[in-house]
């Protein structure tokens, strides 16, 4: 008896690198030019926008000041209050012993499924309120009620700090949320679209997206960026510490990207926002020195593969500066990226086709008795 050969299929594309899997009007990432366009606007042109304005742009193509954009802001405030009022003690108790991102996963998964057109605003409100509530609960503090009249960024900060914060901090968080709101077909957004394509519903789609986001190769990197800065500790150790990490085959968090072959434009947007805030933690000069040395050693070791600073490096600095603990960074990332996830789920649902690629079988075939 002989084993027949498996049928020949074209070679697979590990990591789906360079595969174009969706048409979208939402964002374009040009990794060679280092350009991010969000629905017709260069990232740099969005400086000074509030997160609500970006939501209105992504969801409805409204510009700041359009009555429709104002209405989205009002609905978002009302939804934050609704989410807060329906926080159940049983659900909060269920997060005991979980990491912040696992707690957020549990809380998002508890929301009943619907379609993106109906409840996208609830999803965005929920991500912000839950991230703030989880932050408070981990410190053993009660969760203050949101203020529907405040901006989303100012309200999240007021919730984590237990009272209103300086406008500069709210502006910095707005800059962060706007900068990370959407970014092409990254792993978590793709996950959201795959789940939406099965018609599973909005909250299943964004909960799945969060699961993809939490890994260190995607949205789990900024906490470890601060760990790295702390582990290096002082100026004199930078070069040796980085060399030893790379020698051991470790990846430096906050560097490298699947698409960008130049500096991630979001890194500069966040660095500018941090500069405006006045660098309250005093880490910027040290971090910049680490960045310069990391880029020098990466270029030396990998002349064939340009590895540049990505968004997560300055994410760590800006989120720490506005008052988040490092283990909450991924949840704040999710609060911003929820804008993109919900917009992509809407886009997918509007012109849906089940996403179902093929695999190439490379295992043995059953023996056929006739041979
Ligand atoms: N430090 C050291 N070496 C690196 C780094 C890094 N940060 N990034 C990539 N490399 C090396 C890899 O080891 C690999 O080497 P090899 O060819 O000898 O195996 C080579 O460069 C190419 O890397 P890939 O893994 O093929 O690149 P990919 O496109 O798959 O990865 C990724 C992109 C996952 C972001 C990677 O650069 C990385 O792990 N960076 C560190 C984690 C990080 O910063 N994550 C946040 C990403 S931004 C975001 O998702 C919002």
- Indicate if 201 and 55 belong to the same structural domain: yes
What is the number of structural domains in the chain? 2
Please name the residues in contact with 2: beta carbons below 8 A apart, sequence gap of 6 or more. 367, 368, 371
The span from the CA of 172 to the CA of 159, in Å, is 16
Q: Nearest to residue 73, comparing CAs of 97, 99, 50, 44?
A: 50
Domain of residue 188, residue span: 27-219+327-351
**Pocket of ligand 1 contains residue 257 by CB under 6 Å:** yes
Q: Give domain status of residue 365, yes or no.
A: no
- Indicate if 169 and 226 belong to the same structural domain: no
User: How many residues are listed for the chain in this entry?
Assistant: 371
Tens of pLDDT, residues 126-178: 999 999 999 999 999 999 999 999 999 999 999 999 999 999 999 999 999 99
- Indicate if 227 and 178 belong to the same structural domain: no
Active site residues: 257, 312
Mutate to test the pocket of ligand 1, among 221, 255, 256 (most ligand atoms within 8 A of CB): 256
CB burial string 296-315: b at 16+ within 10 A, e below = ebbeeeeeeeebbbbbbbbb
The span from the CA of 146 to the CA of 152, in Å, is 9
Listing DSSP states for 238-283 in one string gives: HHHHHHHHHHTTPPPTTB--SS-SS--HHHHHHHHHHHHHT-TTS-
ipTM of predicted complex:
0.96
Q: Give domain status of residue 312, yes or no.
A: yes
pTM of the model: 0.94
Mean pLDDT, residues 205-217 taken together: 97
Q: Using CA of residue 73, residue 76, residue 81, residue 82, what is the dihedral sign?
A: positive
113 within 8 A of 67, measured Cβ to Cβ:
no
Q: Is the pLDDT of residue 7 over 80?
A: no
The span from the CA of 50 to the CA of 173, in Å, is 9
The span from the CA of 255 to the CA of 221, in Å, is 10
Query: Which CATH number belongs to the domain containing residue 247 in this structure?
Result: 1.10.230.10
- Indicate if 193 and 248 belong to the same structural domain: no
**Pocket of ligand 1 contains residue 301 by CB under 6 Å:** no
Q: Give domain status of residue 34, yes or no.
A: yes
Q: Is 311 helix (H, G, I), strand (E, B) or coil?
A: helix
Model pLDDT, residue 203: 97
Q: Nearest to residue 111, comparing CAs of 96, 125, 97?
A: 125
259 within 8 A of 31, measured Cβ to Cβ:
yes
Which of 116-120, 193-197, 221-225, 332-336 is predicted least confidently? 116-120
Query: Which CATH number belongs to the domain containing residue 158 in this structure?
Result: 1.10.580.10
Q: Give domain status of residue 2, yes or no.
A: no
Model pLDDT, residue 4: 65
Q: Is the pLDDT of residue 370 over 60?
A: no
- Indicate if 190 and 238 belong to the same structural domain: no
3-state secondary structure 138-202: HCCCCCCCCCCCCCHHHHHHHHHHCCCCCHHHHHHHHHHHHHCCCECECHHHHHHHHHHHCCCCH
* DSSP element (H, E) containing 315: helix 311-321
- Indicate if 82 and 206 belong to the same structural domain: yes
| Residue having the nearest C-alpha atom to atom 13 of ligand 1 | 251
Tens of pLDDT, residues 36-94: 999 999 999 999 999 999 999 999 999 999 999 999 999 999 999 999 999 999 999 99
The span from the CA of 44 to the CA of 27, in Å, is 14
* DSSP element (H, E) containing 28: strand 27-30
- Indicate if 305 and 343 belong to the same structural domain: no
Q: Give domain status of residue 283, yes or no.
A: yes
Mean pLDDT, residues 243-263 taken together: 94
Mean pLDDT, residues 181-186 taken together: 98
| Residue having the nearest C-alpha atom to atom 45 of ligand 1 | 217
Q: Give domain status of residue 14, yes or no.
A: no
Angle in degrees, 0-180, between the axes of helices 167-179 and 329-350, rounded to the nearest 10: 50
- Indicate if 266 and 239 belong to the same structural domain: yes
Q: Nearest to residue 132, comparing CAs of 325, 340, 339?
A: 325
| Residue having the nearest C-alpha atom to atom 47 of ligand 1 | 218
Q: Is the pLDDT of residue 221 over 80?
A: yes
Q: Give domain status of residue 357, yes or no.
A: no
- Indicate if 201 and 269 belong to the same structural domain: no
Own/partner long-range contacts of 304-307 (Cβ < 8 Å, ≥24 apart): 306/261, 306/262, 307/255, 307/256
- Indicate if 144 and 254 belong to the same structural domain: no
**Pocket of ligand 1 contains residue 305 by CB under 6 Å:** yes
- Indicate if 255 and 129 belong to the same structural domain: no
What's the burial of 330, exposed, middle or buried (CB within 10 Å: 0-12/13-18/19+)? buried
Of the pLDDT bands very low, low, confident and very high (cuts 50, 70, 90), residue 359 is very high
Q: Give domain status of residue 251, yes or no.
A: yes
Model pLDDT, residue 209: 98
What's the burial of 163, exposed, middle or buried (CB within 10 Å: 0-12/13-18/19+)? exposed
- Indicate if 196 and 270 belong to the same structural domain: no
């Amino acid at each position: 008896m002989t084993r027949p050969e498996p049928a020949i299929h074209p070679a697979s594309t590990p990591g789906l690198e360079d595969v174009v899997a969706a048409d979208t009007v939402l964002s374009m990432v040009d990794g060679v030019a280092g350009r991010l366009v969000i629905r017709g606007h260069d990232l740099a042109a969005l400086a000074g926008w509030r997160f609500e304005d970006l939501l209105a742009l992504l969801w409805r193509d409204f510009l700041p000041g359009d009555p429709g954009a104002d209405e989205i802001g009002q609905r978002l405030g009302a939804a934050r209050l609704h989410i807060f009022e329906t926080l159940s003690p049983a659900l909060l108790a269920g997060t005991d012993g979980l990491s912040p991102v696992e707690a957020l996963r549990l809380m998002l998964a508890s929301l009943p499924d619907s379609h993106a057109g109906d409840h996208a605003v609830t999803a965005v409100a929920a991500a912000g309120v839950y991230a703030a509530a989880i932050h408070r609960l981990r410190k053993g503090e009660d969760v203050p009620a949101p203020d529907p009249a405040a901006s989303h960024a100012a309200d999240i900060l007021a919730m984590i700090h237990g009272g209103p914060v300086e406008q500069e901090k709210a502006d910095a968080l707005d800059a962060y949320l706007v900068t990370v709101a959407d970014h092409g077909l990254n792993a978590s957004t793709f996950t959201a679209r795959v789940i939406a394509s099965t018609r599973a519903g909005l909250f299943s789609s964004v909960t799945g997206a969060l699961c993809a986001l939490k890994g260190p190769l995607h949205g789990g990197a900024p906490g470890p960026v601060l760990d790295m800065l702390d582990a290096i500790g002082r100026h004199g150790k930078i070069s040796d510490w980085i060399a030893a990490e790379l020698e051991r085959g470790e990846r430096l968090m906050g560097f490298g990207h699947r698409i960008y072959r130049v500096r991630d434009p979001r890194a500069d947007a966040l660095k500018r926002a941090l500069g405006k805030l006045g660098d309250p933690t005093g880490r910027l000069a040290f971090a910049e020195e680490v960045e310069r040395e990391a880029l020098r050693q990466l270029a030396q070791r990998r002349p064939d593969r340009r590895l540049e600073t990505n968004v997560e490096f300055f994410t760590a600095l800006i989120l720490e500066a506005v008052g988040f603990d490092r283990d909450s960074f991924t949840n704040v990332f999710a609060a911003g990226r929820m804008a993109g996830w919900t917009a992509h789920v809407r886009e997918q649902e509007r012109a849906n086709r089940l996403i179902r690629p093929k695999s190439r079988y490379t295992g043995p075939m059953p023996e056929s008795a006739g041979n």
